[in-house]
Structure 1
Amino acid sequence: MTDEHAAGGPVRNGVPEHGRVPRYYAVKVGLLELIGELGEGAALPTERELGERFAVSRATVRQAVSELVLEGRLIRRQGSGTYVAGPKLVQPLALVSYTEGLRDQGVRPGRTLISMERLAAAGEVAADLRLEPGEQVVHIERVLLADGERVGLESTYLVAARFPTLLDVFDPAESLYACLTERLGVEFAGARERVETVLATPREALLIGTNPALPMLLLHRVSWTLDGAPFERVRSLFRGDRLAFETQLG
């Protein structure tokens, strides 16, 4: 087995079987090695310096750097430069809250409230929660923070009839999961989750503070209690460059 086919990175290191590699990709591979040498938080050399280092045009360097920014390996700071990004945060696909998931990684969770209101259920919300159109739901929308950095946007719908005091007892700066289980006595029996990639709407991109062209991870979840009745529908949008999901099988 030759070195280029050794297991340890992307399959065959991303090299096509015909062996011809786009120039920008060769630069990208070289940048990944450089990122490993520089370490988290280090500034990347300028496009001119990288062009000289890899003997390519600045446009080629820019394409390679742009891909690494989209993948979360590099981060651009307006008016400052490009820096080596830290590792992605990992959110478990399990019945644990956003708060628990981050605290387990030594990261400080936080939230900024956008809206907390009663609405009439309609469309997919009504269908997922088995409500008649017009029945009331409590809607809570919050920007999700990790060590003060905006990383996502969460929109939660709960069956209002099951939680008549929720708006009175819930602190939007805290964990909704903790409020439901500890204050309102909810026992989660299960949930159905679906994850897909999307682009943020202009409103979502503004709230999260990200480029609308940046791929996002969208998580849909419907949760139910021991009686099998759904009570919660969650739509969570996360920055694909800062968050990854993980689950354990077995």
Structure 2
Amino acid sequence: MSSSPLEPSPFPAPSPAPSPAPLAAVRAGVPERGDPPKYFQVKQKIDAVLDELGQGTPLPTEREFAERFGVSRMTVRQAIRELRLEGRVQRSGRSTVAAGPKLVQPLTLASYTEGVRRQGRRPGRQLIVFEQVGADAALAAGLRIAVGAPVLHLERLLLADDERVGLESTYLSVARFPALADEFDPTTSLYAFLRGSGVIFADADERIETVLASPREVQLIGTSPALPMLLMNRVTRDREGLPVECVRALYRGDRFSFTAHLVGEE
């Protein structure tokens, strides 16, 4: 026998679709349903404290934050961990201190030195490796030379006000720059040297992705193995379309951001 139309349906009525969260709530990190996680609320409160602290000022201890906000030290530790990944705080000795603003590097054919100086910081480079190697298949293709042809490999730490912020490897053809190893001071700008040698940079292909540093890179840069890094690979060419350099540069994700100027199609 069929059920009477007045009998309740054996299937529950569908739940109404949740209304979209207000834009302000979304910006504040509130999920679609419910309140944000406790660590995120603490993170926002500590972030507000950071706005009042000067660069390099030590933060209150985890215990002090836990007592102030009525949460566990584990919750405070997770909040500070995320703020460190975002570059808002950093380690200094045994303390956690307020970090300064990130270095903003434009995606242009300007050197690292020029970009840092424009922001009122003091650029520096520390030589790690200056050697001659044979080109592997990837380098040979990038520099348009034969596999095994001699290549200069220049690896340097990138500094900003003596702070280690990145690691850069540059590869150049020995046949094109035979005097580079004898005449170039590796603590100075390579782009300035090459321009002084008559090189005119015209264009480049560049790829940027997020990676984790290798154990060797972690040791050289002095960062955490869990800290996201920005990896940039670039091939730069001159006005004749000939490759000048292949570059692999690793930047600390908590200390760097990149900008680009975009124009619309005609």
TM-score of the aligned structures, taking structure 2 as reference length: 0.88
| DSSP 3-state at the match of 2:193 | helix
In structure 2, the partner of 1:117 is 131
Return 5+ residue gaps in structure 2 as ranges. 1-21
In structure 2, the partner of 1:86 is 100
| DSSP 3-state at the match of 2:58 | coil
In structure 2, the partner of 1:55 is 70
In structure 1, the partner of 2:120 is 106
* Structure 1 residue 207 corresponds to structure 2 residue 220: yes
The RMSD of aligned alpha carbons is: 1.6
Deviations, residues 160-211 of structure 1 (Å, cap 9, x unaligned): 11111111211101000000011x2111110011111111111111111111
> Which of 216, 219, 233 in structure 2 is aligned with 1:220?
233
In structure 1, the partner of 2:163 is 149
Which one-letter code corresponds to 1:5 in the other structure? L
* Structure 1 residue 127 corresponds to structure 2 residue 141: yes
The alignment covers a number of residue pairs equal to 243
Distance 1:115 1:11 in 2: 47
Deviation of 1:13 after TM superposition, in Å, equals: 1.7
Identity %: 60
Distance 1:102 1:77 in 2: 22
Which one-letter code corresponds to 2:152 in the other structure? V
In structure 1, the partner of 2:16 is none
Distance 1:167 1:42 in 2: 43
| DSSP 3-state at the match of 1:37 | coil
Q: Which has the higher helix share?
A: 1
In structure 1, the partner of 2:109 is 95
Equivalent residues in 2 for 1:1-250 (5 A)? 5-6=23-24, 11-79=26-94, 81-182=95-196, 184-250=197-263
Which one-letter code corresponds to 2:23 in the other structure? H
Tell me which structure has the larger Cα radius of gyration.
2
Runs of 4+ in structure 1 off by over 4 angstroms are none
Distance 1:191 1:131 in 2: 18
Which one-letter code corresponds to 2:128 in the other structure? I
TM-score of the aligned structures, taking structure 1 as reference length: 0.93
Which one-letter code corresponds to 1:247 in the other structure? A
Return 5+ residue gaps in structure 1 as ranges. none
Which one-letter code corresponds to 1:209 in the other structure? G
Distance 2:181 2:61 in 1: 51
Distance 2:135 2:53 in 1: 51
Query: 1:30–1:71: structure 2 CA closer, same or farther, 3 Å change rule?
Result: same
| DSSP 3-state at the match of 2:148 | coil
